[in-house]
Structure 1
Amino acid sequence: MVLFDLDGQLIWHDPAEPAMEAMLAQVVEALGVTGFNPHTGRSLYRLARSAGLTELTVRVEPNHLIVGRVNERERARWALKLDVARPAITHAVGSAEQAGRAIETFMRFLENEDSLTYSVSFTVTGRVPLATTTAAAAANTDTMDR
């Protein structure tokens, strides 16, 4: 079985500009009611163990890493991401006007030669124990016979 998720999305930035950090905190909090958690990736190993998976391996790799001024291709990708997220940002900050300012603030941050932003991806692989696999298959066969 393969589990994959991000860690640090929307939260790891330097220098941490207070206005941008406050806006991102509002957005992350608002997205929390939808199930968004910026730290899900780091939980995958524990969740895999609690699900009974065996032979676990964990890989952590950069998901995005922008050091200094963002290049045009990555800038366009972030502009698209933020445009898709605009309704959630609007809800989080209270108005379309404030959302526009928040997006502009983040895009300005990406233009800063001194900035660094990143997130990582976690991939956890493991095996479903044979007994569990056999029991699940038997239960499925039993259900299909009815």
Structure 2
Amino acid sequence: MADWESTFAELVAVRGPALRAHAYLLTGNPGTAGDLVQEALLRVFGRLRVGTDIEQLEGYVRRAILNLYVDDRRRAKKWHETRHLLVDQAAHDDDHLVTANAVRQALSDLSPKQRACVVLRYYEDLSVLEIADQLGCAEGTVKRHLADARTRLAAQLGVTEESVQ
């Protein structure tokens, strides 16, 4: 067995569930989350030089998951904005599904960056500085995304300041 194969097997065995959970929090869909993790693993281990440090590799995979998620959301938004040029919108109105999970629905209404910030802050318990490093943006930008996301989530979920305190 090649060195990268044993490292890959160890990463998937030890950190696979945490990687899938991370992807699920971003996507809200177990199937999509699994696909996202698989694609991220392919990207990381598809390189010729892969180290053997599990923590470092997990960081690379998490970053790849985040990048893939943001890219996919950006692509989907662009498609949503232009698909009316190609298909009849009325034929697709019945495809919208109503979800029972209000939080997941509220999260899905956030922009990709806002959702990523919320997941990294409140589910991954990262600091604003760590989130800024992960997303490659300024701390102020992360704070703005978090504030906007909290406002939108509170409005959608009917949360008031009195109920939080």
Task: Identify the structure with the greater helix proportion.
Answer: 2
Considering the TM-score relative to the shorter chain, is it more than 0.5?
Answer: no
Structure with more strand by fraction: 1
Task: Please report the TM-score for the alignment, with normalisation by the length of structure 2.
Answer: 0.25
Structure exhibiting the larger radius of gyration computed from Cα positions = 1
